[in-house]
Amino acid sequence: MTMLALAPLSAIPDNRPLRVEHDFLDFVLVRSGDDVYALEDRCSHGDIPLSEGELAGCLLECWLHGSVFDVRTGIPQTPPAASPVKTFPVTIDEVEGTPTVFVEIG
């Protein structure tokens, strides 16, 4: 199991997605209350960062064609996207006293 530390928990704003670029994959982190979700930062319909979309609760809308994804599952709720966006299990652990978001990538 490989875990990546992506960002301090405090870096994720409420009601706005946070893009985190990594060597081989870019992530979008979403905070909803006490819960944090991590997805690949790429719409399944096109090569568009979902982090540039609008967030409403657990729903993230791609700005290009308007597909809405449930950040808990990555499943599109509206067309034209038909495939889910990859999601990653999230854990919060302290790093030098700072709550930090980790994702499990395999």
Q: Which residues bind ligand FES (CB under 6 A)?
A: 43, 45-46, 48, 62, 64-65, 67, 80-81
Question: Is the Cβ of residue 63 or residue 95 nearer to ligand FES in the bound state?
Answer: 63
Which residues make Cβ contacts (< 8 Å) with residue 106, sequence separation at least 6? 1, 2
Q: How far is the CB of 54 from ligand FES (least distance, A)?
A: 12
- Three-state SS for 42-102 is CCCCCCCCHHHCEEECCEEECCCCCCEEECCCCCECCCCCCCCCCEECEEEEEECCEEEEE
Q: How far is the CB of 66 from ligand FES (least distance, A)?
A: 6
Question: Is the Cβ of residue 64 or residue 90 nearer to ligand FES in the bound state?
Answer: 64
Chain-centroid distance of CA 98 in Å reads 20
Question: Is the Cβ of residue 18 or residue 62 nearer to ligand FES in the bound state?
Answer: 62
Question: Is the Cβ of residue 31 or residue 42 nearer to ligand FES in the bound state?
Answer: 42
- List, in sequence order, every residue forming a beta bridge with 45; answer none if it has no partner: none
Q: How far is the CB of 35 from ligand FES (least distance, A)?
A: 24
Cβ distance 8 to 99 under 8 Å?
Answer: yes
- Which residue in the shown chain puts its C-beta closest to ligand FES? 46
